[in-house]
């Protein structure tokens, strides 16, 4: 009887742990999927932007789609639960997505200059200023990706999740 009670207890612990382990994997994967929605959309935007023969309207439409996709992803991420009262992963993802939207909106501000062939000195100063802001936003975005990776690694270590 004692032996079967020990086996039953171990089996129960294993099932509980497997269920918990599955939950932490699903939790992590849900954030990976949400970030991927945004980054895939942004990649599509830059594919369209760099495509020979793409029109100004197609780039603007793709940019608008990307901004919307990233805003929707941010909204989805902010509505996800905290894992065992740990919001570190969710907070980092929401922050990254907010930064991605900010970057895309700064990119949008350069659009009036995309089709100008002969730019005036005054417009060049304004354009250069916008591009400088865009580069700064890109640096912040890259730092957020690095930060998210570190947060995800810390979250994984804390909750026994093995990252691939």
Mean pLDDT of 96-108: 97
Q: Are 45 and 16 in contact (CB under 8 A)?
A: no
Mean pLDDT of 94-117: 93
Q: What's residue 22's pLDDT?
A: 59
Evaluate if residue 13 carries a pLDDT over 90: no
* Among 73, 64, 76, CA closest to 38: 73
Nearest-angstrom CA–CA distance, 26 and 89: 13
The mean pLDDT of the chain is 85
Evaluate if residue 102 carries a pLDDT over 90: yes
């Amino acid at each position: 009887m004692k032996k079967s009670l020990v086996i039953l207890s171990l089996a129960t612990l294993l099932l509980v742990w497997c269920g918990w382990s599955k939950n932490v994997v699903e939790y992590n994967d849900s954030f990976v999927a949400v970030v991927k929605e945004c980054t895939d959309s942004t990649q599509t935007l830059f594919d369209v932007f760099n495509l020979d023969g793409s029109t100004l309207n197609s780039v603007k439409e793709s940019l608008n789609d990307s901004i919307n996709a990233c805003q929707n992803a941010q909204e989805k991420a902010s509505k996800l639960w905290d894992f065992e009262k740990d919001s570190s992963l969710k907070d980092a993802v929401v922050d990254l997505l907010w930064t991605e939207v900010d970057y895309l909106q700064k990119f949008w501000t350069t659009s009036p200059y995309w089709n100008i062939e002969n730019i005036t000195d005054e417009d060049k100063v304004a354009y250069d200023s916008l591009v400088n802001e865009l580069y700064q936003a890109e640096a912040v975005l890259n730092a957020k990706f690095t930060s998210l990776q570190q947060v995800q690694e810390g979250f994984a270590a804390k909750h026994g999740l093995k990252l691939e």
